[in-house]
């Protein structure tokens, strides 16, 4: 036997042994899942199939949708993105874009009709931008702008994710443009192939590190106060946003200014309203003084006075966002991502936006989109195909145990469950033969991305904490669940599509906290986090009209016509087609730019020149 054959045989033996270990671990965890599902988790699984087969139930649900949307013809837009990064010898080109598929769903007495529509010729349905950046200026678009001798240029390229951020910005801008379009064309249902709460969490940065401050627009420049006010949004009295989380108490002060922009802030009133100490609210006000939002009270003044008009500042940031994105995606002007700013010596020079700057624009766009959806009563759903998260089986159920939201968990002996929420949920149809598609888990707050149960170091005690102890994603804004839209039991082994991750924007139209048809509140109260509630539905017996509407709409939009996308909404699959087509076309254009560089031999590497000779 040759040495190569021996190596191949040894690898096959090692691979087989590892796979056998994995299968044994999986069988053990499926066994634990079966007992956990029977004893508890079955109550958290909502089976919608029987209800959707009933024509009267469908008709009542359609009436509710028609009343909420004002029509029985629901317009929908599905958005997906694409991105890439092409590296040349002396420069790198970042590309990001988004595409939207459009159609309408006609509801008629329990029946429905689905039609896709072409965009009119005067609508640019693709948001595309490419940004060629010389390596000499790459430090401006990569994080960690330290000494240049610490890393190589190639390592800095690998650290950069500007193309992903440009794609996310394109998706958010296209969604916002669609929602803000004329009343006749604006969607009633918005689908996006992303997790909105994850996007908001991923772009959260320290405000004092934002290099975009000073960006000139409309006879003035972006200020620290503008940034603080923009990132304090969105506000919703109905949903109790913002809350008195200790990490961002300044948001409740900004929200009070938004309600009464010209009046001083009354600290005692705010403290009483949110159950806080006056000293805590004063610390938040002092932070806003440092950011240029408030003035300290003068002698005899009733409170901290506004240094800027909060409503005018938010309108300015909105116009700035629209201006930059219009120049970048509609006018295809790469200069939109450049601006003049002083260097370390105070000398003004042209620089590129850094990832934190792009993250700020993405965060502003997502906040604008959320408020636009509330204003126009748009149903906003995020659908994610793949994720290795365990926010349901680890974070949510851990906090439910710690807070007593599900006290019966304390009495259960639960073995090791599968590694991720998706793998766990995909075992449920094998455990429960009565389960039919569509089905979904109960919804829980997206704040459980960060909220979790942990052991206090050095003790046997446990507590609820966030990331780094105190950081918690925005609560009471999005509700998460996992669902499955294709499950066939015609054969001995069930045929099923993947479980997908669903996220729904909570809204005053569909969600009423404190009522029977609304989410329950899980009170979080710790010295580190503060005192605030998060939302969750207790079990499948508690009505959830928002989730019912979402599951119905997604089930009729999931027609399973494409073998490669079984159990996935068709509009998002069509948007994926469009985005990939744009990505291939633009990718070919970018790669063809090597022809421009061919006439400049020193811009190409020796290897490139040698390999270009076909010998």
Alpha-carbon span 62 to 48, nearest angstrom: 15
Determine the structural domain holding residue 13 and report its residue range. 3-53+383-568
Give strand pairing partners of 102: 77, 117
Q: Residue 608: how many CB atoms within 10 A of its CB?
A: 15
Alpha-carbon span 126 to 329, nearest angstrom: 8
| pLDDT exceeds 60 at position 449 | yes
Find the radius of gyration of the CA atoms of the chain: 26
> What is residue 117's predicted lDDT score, i.e. its pLDDT?
82
- 438 upstream amide cis, omega within 30 of 0: yes
Backbone dihedral angles phi then psi of residue 488, each to the nearest 5 degrees: -115, 130
Q: How many domains does the chain have?
A: 1
Would residue 493 count as lying in a domain? Answer: yes
| pLDDT exceeds 60 at position 124 | no
Q: Are strands 91-108 and 126-134 parallel, antiparallel or unpaired?
A: antiparallel
Q: Distance of alpha carbon 307 from its chain centroid, rounded?
A: 32
Where does 273-337 show beta strands of DSSP type E?
294-295, 305-306
- 125-178 pLDDT, tens digit each: 567 776 666 655 555 555 444 444 334 444 444 445 788 888 999 999 999 999
Would residue 484 count as lying in a domain? Answer: yes
* 183 pLDDT tier (thresholds 50, 70, 90): low
Would residue 553 count as lying in a domain? Answer: yes
Would residue 461 count as lying in a domain? Answer: yes
Where does residue 200 rank: exposed (0-12), middle (13-18), buried (19+ CB within 10 A)?
Answer: buried
Name the one residue in this structure whose structure tokens are 């890439």: 84
| pLDDT exceeds 80 at position 483 | yes
* 215 pLDDT tier (thresholds 50, 70, 90): confident
Average pLDDT rounded to a whole number, residues 564-589: 88
Alpha-carbon span 92 to 367, nearest angstrom: 31
Q: Are residues 275 and 531 in contact, defined by beta-carbon separation less than 8 angstroms?
A: yes
Overall residue count recorded for the chain in this entry: 615
Q: Which candidate, 526, 527, 516, 529, places its Cα nearest to that of 475? A: 529
Q: Are strands 379-384 and 189-192 parallel, antiparallel or unpaired?
A: parallel
Give strand pairing partners of 306: 294
Q: Nearest 5°: CA angle at 243, between 394 and 190?
A: 70
Where does residue 198 rank: exposed (0-12), middle (13-18), buried (19+ CB within 10 A)?
Answer: buried
Q: Are residues 536 and 478 in contact, defined by beta-carbon separation less than 8 angstroms?
A: no
Would residue 347 count as lying in a domain? Answer: no
Max CA separation in the chain (angstroms): 95
Alpha-carbon span 246 to 243, nearest angstrom: 9
**190 backbone φψ class: left, alpha, beta (φ>0; ψ -120 to 50):** beta
DSSP structural state of residue 443: P
Alpha-carbon span 80 to 10, nearest angstrom: 44
Q: pLDDT: is 82 or 130 the higher one?
A: 82
Alpha-carbon span 288 to 242, nearest angstrom: 16
Question: Tokens in use for 366?
Answer: 């997502």
What CA–CA distances, in Å, run from 246 to 19, 242, 446, 575? Answer: 47, 11, 18, 40
* 375 pLDDT tier (thresholds 50, 70, 90): very high
Would residue 210 count as lying in a domain? Answer: no
Alpha-carbon span 546 to 255, nearest angstrom: 26
Q: Are residues 548 and 539 in contact, defined by beta-carbon separation less than 8 angstroms?
A: no
> What is residue 317's predicted lDDT score, i.e. its pLDDT?
97
Q: What is the mean pLDDT of the chain?
A: 86
When mean pLDDT is compared across 178-182, 337-341, 436-440, the lowest value belongs to 337-341
- 6-38 pLDDT, tens digit each: 888 888 888 888 888 888 888 888 888 999 999
- 246-279 pLDDT, tens digit each: 888 999 999 999 999 888 898 999 999 998 999 9
Alpha-carbon span 124 to 110, nearest angstrom: 35
Question: Tokens in use for 474?
Answer: 């925005």
DSSP structural state of residue 467: B
- 355-367 pLDDT, tens digit each: 888 899 999 999 9
Would residue 236 count as lying in a domain? Answer: no
> What is residue 604's predicted lDDT score, i.e. its pLDDT?
61
**DSSP SS3 for 241:** strand
Q: Are residues 510 and 545 in contact, defined by beta-carbon separation less than 8 angstroms?
A: yes
Percentage above 90 pLDDT, the chain: 55
Backbone dihedral angles phi then psi of residue 344, each to the nearest 5 degrees: -65, -15
Highest mean pLDDT: which of 7-21, 196-210, 383-397, 510-524? 383-397
Would residue 234 count as lying in a domain? Answer: no
Average pLDDT rounded to a whole number, residues 235-243: 93
Alpha-carbon span 234 to 357, nearest angstrom: 19
**469 backbone φψ class: left, alpha, beta (φ>0; ψ -120 to 50):** left
Q: Are residues 210 and 227 in contact, defined by beta-carbon separation less than 8 angstroms?
A: yes
**DSSP SS3 for 70:** coil
């Amino acid at each position: 036997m040759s040495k190569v054959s021996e190596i191949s045989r040894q690898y096959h033996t090692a691979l087989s042994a590892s796979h056998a270990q994995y299968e044994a671990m999986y069988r053990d965890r499926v066994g634990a899942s079966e007992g956990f599902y029977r004893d508890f988790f079955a109550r958290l699984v909502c089976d919608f199939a029987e209800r959707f087969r009933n024509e009267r139930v469908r008709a009542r649900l359609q009436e509710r949708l028609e009343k909420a949307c004002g029509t029985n013809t629901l317009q929908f837009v599905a958005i997906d993105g694409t991105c890439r990064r092409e590296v040349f010898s002396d420069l790198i080109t970042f590309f990001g874009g988004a595409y939207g598929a459009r159609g309408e769903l006609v509801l008629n007495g329990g029946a429905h009709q689905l039609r896709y529509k072409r965009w009119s010729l005067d609508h640019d349905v693709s948001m595309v931008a490419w940004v060629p950046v010389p390596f000499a200026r790459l430090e401006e678009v990569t994080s960690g702008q330290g000494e240049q001798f610490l890393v190589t240029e190639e390592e800095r390229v690998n650290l950069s994710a500007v193309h992903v951020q440009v794609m996310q910005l394109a998706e958010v801008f296209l969604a916002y443009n669609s929602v803000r379009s004329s009343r006749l064309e604006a969607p009633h249902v918005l689908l996006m192939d992303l997790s909105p709460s994850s996007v908001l969490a991923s772009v959260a940065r320290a405000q004092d590190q934002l290099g975009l401050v000073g960006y000139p627009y409309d006879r003035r420049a972006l200020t620290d106060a503008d940034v603080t006010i923009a990132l304090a949004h969105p506000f919703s009295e109905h949903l109790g946003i913002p809350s008195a989380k200790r990490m961002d108490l300044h948001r409740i002060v900004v929200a009070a200014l938004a309600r009464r922009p010209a009046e001083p802030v009354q600290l005692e009133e705010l403290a009483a309203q949110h159950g806080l100490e006056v000293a805590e609210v004063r610390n938040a006000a002092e932070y806003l003084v440092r950011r240029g939002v408030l003035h300290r009270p003068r002698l005899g003044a009733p409170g901290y006075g506004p240094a800027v008009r909060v409503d005018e500042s938010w309108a300015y940031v909105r116009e700035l966002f629209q201006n930059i994105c219009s120049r970048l995606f509609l006018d295809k002007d790469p200069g939109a991502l450049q601006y003049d700013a002083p260097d370390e010596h105070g000398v003004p020079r042209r620089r590129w936006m850094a990832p934190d700057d792009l993250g700020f624009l993405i965060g502003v766009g997502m906040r604008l989109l959320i408020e636009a959806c509330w204003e126009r009563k748009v149903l906003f759903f995020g659908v994610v195909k793949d994720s290795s998260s365990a926010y349901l089986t680890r974070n949510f159920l851990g906090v439910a145990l710690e807070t007593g939201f599900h006290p019966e968990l304390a009495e259960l002996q639960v073995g090791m469950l599968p590694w991720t929420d998706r793998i766990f949920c995909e075992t449920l149809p094998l455990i429960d033969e009565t389960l039919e598609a569509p089905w979904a888990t109960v919804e829980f707050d997206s704040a459980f991305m960060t909220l979790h149960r942990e052991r206090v170091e050095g003790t046997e005690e446990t507590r609820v904490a966030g990331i780094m102890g105190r950081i918690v994603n925005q609560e009471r804004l999005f509700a998460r669940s996992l669902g499955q839209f294709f499950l066939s039991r015609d054969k001995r082994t069930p045929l099923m599509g993947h479980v997908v991750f669903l996220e729904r924007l909570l809204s005053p139209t569909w969600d009423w906290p404190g009522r029977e048809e609304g989410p329950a509140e899980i009170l979080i109260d710790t010295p580190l986090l503060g005192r605030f509630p998060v939302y969750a539905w207790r079990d499948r017996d508690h009505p959830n009209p928002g989730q019912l509407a979402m599951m119905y709409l997604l089930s009729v939009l999931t027609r399973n016509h494409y073998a490669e996308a079984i159990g996935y909404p068709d509009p998002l699959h069509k948007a994926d087609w469009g985005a990939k087509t744009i990505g291939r076309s633009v990718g070919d254009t970018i790669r063809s730019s090597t022809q421009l560089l061919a006439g400049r031999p020193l811009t190409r590497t020796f290897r490139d020149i040698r390999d270009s000779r076909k010998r």
